[in-house]
Structure 1
Amino acid sequence: MVSLWLVLSIACTCLGQVAQKLAVQRIQQLAPDARWGQKLLQPWLVAAIALLGLGAVFWLLVLQSWPVGIAYPFLALNFIVMLVIAKCFFKEDVTSRRWLGALLITAGVACMGLSL
């Protein structure tokens, strides 16, 4: 069950990051004199806050069962998920050096996972 909570925490956190990016893009499209309330209640921003909050709840469930020294490195998987999303969804340029970094992160998380 803890593994499911970890996956849900990572998923919610990454989706929250995507929602933040979409919120910023939408806010930039608003008129320069748009009120702060209009910016803060932008639906993607509300979704981002909700998803990040839900991700934190799932993370707390993970911490109830795993030592923080084991659990925390798994959050590095967020970097890999976001790298793929940046490349595929936002069409960002991802260099070979960044892919190498993602591979090293994956190797490190795998090593940590072996100690469970």
Structure 2
Amino acid sequence: MSLILIGVACLLTCLGQVAQKYAVESWRDRPSALLDKLRSPWLWLALASLGLGLLVWLLVLQQLDVGVAYPMLSLNFVLITLVARFVFHEAIDRQHWIGVALVIAGVILLGRQL
């Protein structure tokens, strides 16, 4: 159950980060007042996703030691890298991919403790 909750927390956090990116991208070409920015559905999706992710994370911390649980959030680094590459078409260099592979290896090693 802990792994599922960690996965949900990571996905919600990733969704929140992506929604933040879309929110600021929508603001880029048109300078607008603060109230216009606050009406952005992307901003509200980001806030909701990050808020729900926090609540799920609290459930994770009830079940696992923080020293095991927190490094598992590094999966967000992997997810955001994939989104950056395949959704936003950003260039990702070889060193970055090596870092992603190392993060995945670390998560696998930590996952054996669960």
- TM-score (normalizing by structure 2): 0.95
1:55-79 deviations in whole A, cap 9, x for unaligned? 1111111000001011011000000
Structure 1 position 41, deviation (Å): 2.1
CA-to-aligned-CA distance 1:20-77 (integer Å, 9 cap, x gap): 00000111133x2x22111122110111011000111111110000010110110000
Please tell me whether the aligned partners of residues 27 and 42 of structure 1 are also in contact (alpha carbons under 8 angstroms). Answer: no
Look up the match of 1:14: 14
| Separation (CA, whole Å) in 1 of partners of 2:8 and 2:107 | 17
Instruction: Output the CA distance in 1 between the equivalents of 2:7 and 2:33.
Output: 37
Q: 1:86 — aligned with what?
A: 84
Work out the CA distance in 2 between the residues paired with 1:12 and 1:69: 21
CA distance in 1, matches of 2:79, 2:9: 12
Residue type of the alignment partner of 1:96: R
**CA drift at 1:2:** 2.0
2:48 alignment counterpart: 50
Q: Cα offset for 1:6? A: 1.1
Q: Please state whether the residue corresponding to 2:73 is helix, strand or coil.
A: helix
| Regions of 4+ moved over 4 Å | none
Output the CA distance in 2 between the equivalents of 1:9 and 1:41. Answer: 25
- Structure 2 residue ranges without an equivalent (≥5): none
**Count of paired positions:** 114
Alignment partners' CA distance in 2, 1:3 and 1:107: 16
Contact 1:8 1:58 in 2 (8 A): yes
Whether contact under 8 Å (1:79, 1:102) holds in the other structure is yes
Give the root-mean-square deviation of aligned CA atoms: 0.9
Q: Cα distance, 1:100 vs. partner?
A: 0.2
Identity of aligned residues (%): 44
| TM-score of the two chains, using structure 1 as the length reference | 0.94
